[in-house]
Structures are given as C-alpha cells and as structure tokens.
Homo-oligomer: A and B are copies of this chain.
Amino acid sequence: MVDYEFFDLGDFSLQRGVTLRDAKLAYKTYGTLNADKSNVIVYPTWYSGQHYDNEWLVGEGMALDPKNYFIIIPNMLGNGLSTSPSNNPQPYNKSRFPNVTFYDNVRAQHKLVTEKFGIEKIALVVGWSMGAGQTYQWGISYPEMVERIFPFCGSAKTSFHNIVFLEGVKAALQADAAWKGGWYDEPPTTGLRAVGRVYAGWGLSQAFYREKVYLQMGYSSLEDFLVAFWEGFFLKKDANNLLTMLWTWQNGDISQTPGFDGDFEKALGAIKAKAIVMPAEMDLYFPPEDNEYEVKYMPNAELRVIKSVWGHFAGGGVNAVDTKFIDDSIKELLAS
C-alpha cells in the first residue's frame, strides 16, 4: 500500500520543449488545511530523495508541525515516484526522458497546490539541497504567493564547481558499460557503487572524516561506511533517474525563469519572500560564499550558517544538533 497520492499533470510541457504526456506528481500531505488556507508549507525533495526522506523535519513540536500546518511534500520529477525515466512509458522512457528544470518542477507543484487544493498563499517553502533549488524557484516563479522561503544547503544558481563535482558523479556512473547509454535492463551496479564512492568525499567534510563521525553513525570502519552507507545508498537508485535529476541540478538557475533572460542579480532581486538562507559552513559543493553573494541581492533575506563538521549533510537530518539549529530557525522565520 502506498502512503502517498498522485496528482495528474496531464500533458505537461517542459521549459526545454518536450511535452510529458499524462505526467504525474507524487506527493504526500501532513496535517490539515485550515479554513482560510493560510497554513500551507511546501517542502520539495532533494537529489534522489523521496517524500519520506523529508519527514525528519516534520513532527509534533517542530516548526513543521502537522497540528499547525498543512505540509505538502511534492516528489521531484525524475525521483522515481513522480514521472521519471524509470516509470514513464515509451517513447519518453529511460534515456529518452526529457530534460526537466527547477522551473518545470515548481510549475508542476504550483498546479497541484492551486488546482487540487485551491491554495492562494504559501506561508513557507523550505527545502534542502536540490529542494533548496526548488525553494528559490518558488520565490521567483510565484513571488505574490510565497510569503517565506527557507532554502538550506543549496543555491539559486548551480555554481561551476558544483557542476564539475556532478560531472565526476556522472562520469563514474557512465564509465560502467552495463549502463548501456541508459538502455539497461539490469542496473549498472558497478557504476552505481562508483557513484557512491565518488560522492562519499563530497557529501561530508574533511573534518567529518578526521573526527571519524561515521563511527558514531554506527558504521564499524571507513570501508564499512563506504559500502554500507554510500554504495548501499546509490544501489537503491535508478541510474537514469539519477542522471535526469543530475541534469536538473546542473542546470539550476533562477535567472532562466522567463522574463529574466539570465540576469541573475535581477532574478535574486525579484524574490520578495522573507528568507533565511542557510548554508552549512563546511559544505563542499554548496559553500557559504555562493549564498553570501545571493543574499546581497535578495531584498528580504538573511544569511545564517550552520556551524557543523557534517558538510552538506548538516542539512540531511542525520544529527540532532544541526537539525535543532535548522528547526529553530524555521520556527523563527514562521513567527516573523
């Protein structure tokens, strides 16, 4: 039994030209929409994450408390639950799955929010990593609708270094001949394992490994962490789905929203929502410097840095201290 629902997007035209026919947005909601529909939080997913992977930030007594808020977690296109290379019928299946942008994802989510629920205002959009990318996109695509945004460990425009990091991930996957240009029937497990090993150095910080924090996580050695956590993580994923989301990530750029013509500073300036932008100090692919730059151009934003050795995973919900810091800051933003 699935614990989530589907919204029919119908024939959904993408920013880069292709139409996804009979597209579906998988989502889950938490809590109850109040009478004046003023208690809405949208919380998009991250790279290969599915809605349940977001649930660590939802709960009683937390900022995202279902007693107070109606929380919608939409699954990103390509994540294996919403329309994806792995579940779309031919001809746009597997390697033929089209390029999807954050703009497309947010337009799909907007259809869900407005057409399914009749919502006109969103109290908060919040997201980690690629979820942060969608969060910024909400701020620029629907500035009159979004009251607050809380992007953490992400960026409004994917940096060149981040693009290069992802090139390494992609190349490791595609080096496996079993990938077959995407036309595999059996998963390219060697490539997926290689992705795990490439990712392992990037996802956490130098200090995380120096302090052997993986032992606290229950792994018995560095190699155990690499196999049990990292290889295991990516072996569960579909290679084409990973590549679709990777393209979305690499091409993240709010200034590609219609009307901004690549003017990044102008696009940042158009985000009206009250914002806390929260990088993690030691994040190796979303370093705070890129967010510092953004916040200078955002009219209503504060930069607040997570001090942590967890690198990008400071925002992953895997350690209580960082989770509390994030949650407290969201509470503050919601109260403002």
Contact = CB atoms under 8 A, between A and B. Distances in A.
Given A161-B204, A165-B201, 11 more contacts: A159-B206, A161-B210, A167-B197, A168-B201, A170-B197, A172-B198, A173-B175, A176-B176, A198-B198, A206-B289, A210-B290
Contacts of A199: 168
B160 A174 contact: no
9 contacts: A159-B209, A160-B210, A171-B193, A172-B198, A175-B176, A175-B190, A175-B194, A206-B290, A284-B284
A18 interface: no
A173 to B, nearest CB: 8
A222 interface: yes
Interface in A132-179: 159-161, 163-165, 167-168, 170-178
Interface residues of A, number: 43
A287 interface: yes
A191 interface: yes
B172 A194 contact: yes
Interface in A195-229: 196-202, 204-210, 212, 222, 226
B175 A212 contact: no
Interface in A275-298: 284-285, 287, 289-290
A209 B161 contact: yes
Nearest to A226: B167
A171 B197 contact: yes
Given A201-B168, A289-B210, A175 B161 contact: no
Given A168-B200, A226-B167, A191 B175 contact: yes
Contacts of A167: 197, 200-201, 226
Contacts of A190: 174-175, 177
- Tell me whether chain A's interface is mostly helix, strand or loop, or mixed: helix
A212 B160 contact: yes
A222 B163 contact: yes
Given A160-B212, A176-B177, A287 B206 contact: yes
Contacts of A205: 161
Nearest to A176: B175
Select the residue from A173, A178, A202, A207 with max chain B CB neighbours within 10 A.
A202
B172 A206 contact: no
A210 to B, nearest CB: 6
A203 to B, nearest CB: 10
Nearest to A193: B171
A268 to B, nearest CB: 16
A173 B161 CA distance: 21
A206 B284 CA distance: 8
A173 B196 CA distance: 14
A17 to B, nearest CB: 22
Contacts of A226: 164, 167
A243 B212 CA distance: 25
B164 A209 contact: yes
A289 B282 CA distance: 13
**5 A-B pairs with the lowest CB-CB distances in the bound complex, closest first:** A168-B198, A171-B194, A171-B197, A161-B209, A160-B209
Nearest to A190: B175
A222 B162 CA distance: 12
